[in-house]
């Protein structure tokens, strides 16, 4: 019997990623998804906390609406008297 060299074998499945590859995947995931999400949440929190100081209270808004309604009523009465 003669010696036949072994046939080259091609693996059916690629290798499982090891530690360094998984760390690189984690870094890419954090940079592409985690960082923008963190920036959006931080920006939203900033806008919510900053926006509360400038906003008038509900009672102030209601008083302003009543004041404007009274002014509109006076203008309507004056307009009715002129016509």
pLDDT at residue 53, rounded to an integer: 67
Tell me whether residue 32 is in a domain.
yes
**Domain limits for position 52:** 22-82
% pLDDT > 70, the chain:
94
Tell me whether residue 35 is in a domain.
yes
Query: What mean pLDDT value characterizes the chain?
Result: 87
Q: In the structure, what pLDDT confidence band is assigned to residue 52 with cuts at 50, 70 and 90?
A: low
Q: How does pLDDT run across 11-31, given as a tens digit for each residue?
A: 777 778 888 999 999 999 999
Please tell me the total count of domains within the chain: 1
Residue count (the chain): 83
Distance separating alpha carbons of residues 6 and 51, to the nearest angstrom: 74
pLDDT at residue 77, rounded to an integer: 92
Tell me whether residue 10 is in a domain.
no
Tell me whether residue 58 is in a domain.
yes
Tell me whether residue 15 is in a domain.
no
Distance separating alpha carbons of residues 60 and 67, to the nearest angstrom: 11
Distance separating alpha carbons of residues 38 and 46, to the nearest angstrom: 12
Tell me whether residue 5 is in a domain.
no
pLDDT at residue 67, rounded to an integer: 96
Contact indicator for 17, 25 with CB cutoff of 8 Å = yes
Q: Provide CB contacts within 8 A for 25, sequence distance 6+.
A: 17
């Amino acid at each position: 019997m003669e010696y036949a060299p072994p046939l080259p074998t091609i693996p059916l499945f690629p290798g499982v990623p090891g530690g360094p590859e998984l760390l690189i995947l984690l870094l890419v995931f954090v940079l592409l998804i985690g960082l923008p999400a963190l920036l959006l949440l931080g920006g939203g929190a900033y806008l919510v906390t900053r926006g509360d100081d400038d906003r008038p209270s509900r009672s102030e808004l209601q008083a302003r609406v009543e004041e404007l309604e009274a002014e509109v009523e006076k203008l309507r009465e004056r307009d009715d008297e002129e016509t």
